[in-house]
Structure 1
Amino acid sequence: MTIKPVFADATPIGPLPEPSGFLDDVVAGLGAARKSLPAKYFYDAAGSDLFEAITRLPEYYPTRTELGILDAAGPEIAAVLPRRATLVEFGSGSTAKVRRLLRHLPNLSAYVPVDVSESFLRSEAEALRADVPALHIEPVAADFTKPFALPADLAGGPGGAAAAGFFPGSTIGNFEPAEAGRLLAQFGAVLGAGASLIVGVDLVKDRAVLEAAYDDAAGVTAAFNLNLLTRINRELGGDFEAGGFAHRALFNAEESRIEMHLVSARAQTVRVGGLPFRFAPGETIHTENSYKYTIEGFRSLAAGAGWAPGAVWTDPERLFSVHALRRA
């Protein structure tokens, strides 16, 4: 199974769940006063394939826009990173984005991709080794949302060079702002004193552009959202009915976030794990948040997490941004 970004933005949050954890989380979420399901469960095989399709949609700007920034500003981004650094990519997934950066970093000490899917992680590392044989690559299978240690022989890099982090894909937006701040602080603890961090951040923009990106005309994102119910039926013995729920994506301006919901088409009772869950007409299951930042808003968040904000790169339309941070 190919691990891809949470919702349609970035890397999955947390480890792949064990079936018992999946059931516990679904029961807790559907039993809450405001029903919700964790976004990490989107990514079964079908969900991962649907995400790939989402990234190719004309409405979905984040992936192609960030790649364009990495191509256009690659030399400038590389210039802010320490020479001979160990580059740590948090939630690496596919190597598509880091490859755009590596071409501008011939003096890296090592590359450390970090992801929860060990088999996919190692296959991607092997493919990258074949293409960049001079680069030392040491994958780490870990949940980047929890503390972990860099390989002892690479921490700090040879000769005491500082480490550098890479966190593309606007994955930071899938965390509540307070959680995002804690995650950035944790990255600093992993990378150590003097570290640098390159982060992809989606920007606040016109509501119509945002909502179209998460509710495309072809219905691919709707299928991605609804596939979560199909997975619950298959793996947990649920009895969600086809046509019983519809996809909804909306921009919550007050919270500065895109929200994704599944909306009950009628009054109905659904069973999961032998337990009944009642839905009123129009009641929703909240399945995802994707926070959008202003440039100054994200710089303030980073500063509060112990990072000194540096250069920022955007596309000409200012749809997306890439930030350079240094550990204060």
Structure 2
Amino acid sequence: MKTPGRFPLDYRLPADHFTTALRSDVRSGLGTTPRTLSPKWLYDDRGSDLFEQITLLPEYYPTRSEQEILTERSQEIAELTRAGTLVELGSGSSRKTRLLLDALSVAGTLRRYEALDVSAAALEEACLAIDRDYEGIQVTGTVADLETDVPLPDGAAPRLVAFFGSTIGNFDRDQRASFFRSLAAALSPEDFLLLGADLVKEPGTLVRAYDDSAGVTAEFNKNVLRVLNRELGADFQPDAFEHLALWNEPEERIEMHLRSRLPQTAKIPALGLCLDFTRGESIRTELSCKFREETLTAELHDTGLTVRRWWTDSESRFALLLAAPQARSAAKKSDAPSVHESPGGKSR
């Protein structure tokens, strides 16, 4: 290990971004019906800690499934991409990223790690740990809001852009299209996108993953009301709402809601809002879209990206896909076709 040094943090957000964005989202989301909030407001320090607990719960399979694929495929990904720069969108704890860092380091191609996250604190923690543990890799971080900007850094080519955790599922179809187009425009012909995607499966399994028996997800969901109370002087009573996880079959997505247990009024003085809730009225706090191979592949193709590899875990619950800009894919038609595999090399 090396002694942690200083690494640059590029702030792409104005100083008042958090306050301005929160006020705008709350005013537009709660000031109309049906009421909604962006899932990004779930992740203050307490919310992030609760989510880390969720990833360890027996019902919550996505983290384990994605880690299984990465454990099995990181060396192959390193060989396919020969990445000189690894860019991680939404740095989080960067646990899974270490599997890629190790594989790319062994391959001898990696020169730089760049993390992007809306949270400067999370970004600094992740970058410090990687800067400490990986000798000879330049570590940098960018504070950015991926909903509005994806500032891919310059770096040693080719770049491998990793977006883990099926976070893409928090975007609806229009948001995904905009996000993918931005990425396709920013990627050079030699670059790659590595994307985690949770798959459509039996609804009971999905609902249990978002409504665990220990109640951790319920506390995680209610925590957003505490964020509004703290940041905007609101007077929400979290225990006056119940956590719901619902499977929306037509849209093929899980929705998390907070449903009012009784008629009540909540005030948000900072915005001059007075919100009347009927019994049973809800706030949608998160959507988590689930995917099928054919539809996600088509979405990517329509926005300028072609899937080159598609891997699943041993139970085909989660997918990790490698995509490239279409200009590169057209030039590589002589390569092996896209491969669809689960760990152990079993084609499906």
TM-score by length of 1: 0.88
Q: Aligned letter for 2:74?
A: G
Q: C-alpha separation between the residues in 2 aligned to 1:130 and 1:179? A: 36
- 1:40 matched residue in structure 2: 40
Taking a change above 3 Å as real, the CA distance of residues 111 and 264 of structure 1, as seen in their structure-2 partners, is: same
Q: Aligned letter for 2:189?
A: A
1:312 correspondence with 2:314: no
- 1:285 matched residue in structure 2: 283
Q: Deviations over 1:22-81 (max 9, x none)?
A: 234223222212111121111122211111111111100111111111001222222221
- 2:205 matched residue in structure 1: 209
Q: C-alpha separation between the residues in 2 aligned to 1:211 and 1:126? A: 36
Q: C-alpha separation between the residues in 1 aligned to 2:314 and 2:323? A: 22
Within 5 Å, give how 1:1-328 maps onto structure 2. Answer: 18-81=18-81, 83-106=82-105, 107-147=109-149, 149-152=151-154, 154=155, 157=156, 161-273=157-269, 274-328=272-326
Q: Aligned letter for 1:102?
A: L
TM-score by length of 2: 0.83
Aligned partner of residue 216 in structure 1, secondary structure: coil
Percent identity between matched residues is 42
The answer to whether the 8 Å contact 1:80/1:324 transfers is no
Q: Aligned letter for 1:225?
A: N
Shift of the alpha carbon at 1:166?
0.9
Taking a change above 3 Å as real, the CA distance of residues 287 and 147 of structure 1, as seen in their structure-2 partners, is: closer
Q: C-alpha separation between the residues in 1 aligned to 2:149 and 2:235? A: 38
Taking a change above 3 Å as real, the CA distance of residues 110 and 297 of structure 1, as seen in their structure-2 partners, is: same
Aligned partner of residue 230 in structure 2, secondary structure: helix
Q: C-alpha separation between the residues in 2 aligned to 1:183 and 1:259? A: 21
Aligned partner of residue 60 in structure 1, secondary structure: coil
The answer to whether the 8 Å contact 1:68/1:315 transfers is yes
Q: C-alpha separation between the residues in 2 aligned to 1:118 and 1:238? A: 25
Q: C-alpha separation between the residues in 2 aligned to 1:277 and 1:302? A: 40
Shift of the alpha carbon at 1:144?
3.0
- 1:5 matched residue in structure 2: none
The answer to whether the 8 Å contact 2:150/2:183 transfers is no
Q: C-alpha separation between the residues in 1 aligned to 2:240 and 2:76? A: 50
Aligned partner of residue 287 in structure 1, secondary structure: strand
Taking a change above 3 Å as real, the CA distance of residues 240 and 138 of structure 1, as seen in their structure-2 partners, is: closer
Taking a change above 3 Å as real, the CA distance of residues 187 and 271 of structure 1, as seen in their structure-2 partners, is: same
Q: C-alpha separation between the residues in 1 aligned to 2:86 and 2:265? A: 50
Q: C-alpha separation between the residues in 2 aligned to 1:276 and 1:176? A: 28
Shift of the alpha carbon at 1:178?
2.0
Aligned partner of residue 18 in structure 1, secondary structure: helix
Q: C-alpha separation between the residues in 1 aligned to 2:284 and 2:147? A: 22
Q: Deviations over 1:96-146 (max 9, x none)?
A: 111011211121232211222234323322221221112222222323333
Q: C-alpha separation between the residues in 2 aligned to 1:263 and 1:182? A: 31
Aligned partner of residue 103 in structure 1, secondary structure: helix
- 2:341 matched residue in structure 1: none
Q: Deviations over 1:176-200 (max 9, x none)?
A: 1121122122122223223211100
Q: Which runs of 5+ in 2 are unaligned?
A: 1-12, 327-348
Q: C-alpha separation between the residues in 2 aligned to 1:305 and 1:212? A: 33
Taking a change above 3 Å as real, the CA distance of residues 20 and 134 of structure 1, as seen in their structure-2 partners, is: closer
Q: C-alpha separation between the residues in 1 aligned to 2:127 and 2:169? A: 26
Shift of the alpha carbon at 1:243?
3.0
Q: C-alpha separation between the residues in 1 aligned to 2:33 and 2:62? A: 33
- 1:10 matched residue in structure 2: none
Taking a change above 3 Å as real, the CA distance of residues 310 and 119 of structure 1, as seen in their structure-2 partners, is: same
Q: C-alpha separation between the residues in 2 aligned to 1:309 and 1:151? A: 23
Q: How many residues matched?
A: 308
Taking a change above 3 Å as real, the CA distance of residues 39 and 33 of structure 1, as seen in their structure-2 partners, is: same
Taking a change above 3 Å as real, the CA distance of residues 235 and 327 of structure 1, as seen in their structure-2 partners, is: same
Shift of the alpha carbon at 1:17?
5.1
Query: 217-226 or 239-248: which moved more?
Result: 239-248
The answer to whether the 8 Å contact 1:164/1:197 transfers is yes
The answer to whether the 8 Å contact 1:30/1:37 transfers is yes
